[in-house]
Amino acid sequence: MTMTAPEFNGELTDLECRADLDSLQGLQQERRQLLREYAPLKALHGPFGKFDFKRKAMLEACKIRARMEMQQKGEKITESAVDALGHADPQYIAFVDEGIVAATRYIELDLAVTEIEERIRNREFSLLAFNAEAKLAR
């Protein structure tokens, strides 16, 4: 069961207004929106990602197809020929190219999520400074 956070209505709390801070709810909503695309990309391309597993499975499927085609044509089947044909298969090349595009997008989203988390941390430090200044002003 997934819990959903309430939608951010764009309003700042009184404290956020007085301290001139970004809304915590707004920052969290930004992060949640990015996570819809970011999470599956991280599962594939992040630490312990599964892309290499999928790439190897695709390569093996291409090698099987190459082996079957060589057999149908009556060609001599060698592992080096099967390997070369598998790596040169247009479907395998397209799969790797798509993986590169997805890995690039993962890096972009990872940076965006990190920046939002930095803004949240900066907000916390700004609140501490604001509260300290408010105490000194009394």
* pLDDT 10s digits, 8-17: 566 777 777 7
Per-residue pLDDT band at 126 (split at 50, 70, 90): confident
Residue (of 97, 67, 89) closest to 80 by Cα position: 67
The secondary structure of 22-78 as a DSSP string is --HHHHHHHHHHHHHHHHHHHHHHSTT-SHHHHHHHHHHHHHHHHHHHHHHHT----
Lowest mean pLDDT across 3-7, 30-34, 112-116: 3-7
Contacts of 59 (CB under 8 A, 6+ apart): 86, 87, 92
The angle subtended at Cα 113 by Cα 24 and Cα 27, nearest 5°, is: 15
How far apart, in whole angstroms, are the C-alpha atoms of residue 42 and residue 1?
21
CA 21 to chain centre: 28
In whole angstroms, what is the distance from residue 69 CA to residue 85 CA? Answer: 10
Higher pLDDT pick, 107 / 132: 107
> CA of 32: how far to CAs of 12, 16, 77, in Å?
18, 21, 52
pLDDT (0 to 100) of residue 14: 72
What confidence score (pLDDT) does residue 6 get?
55
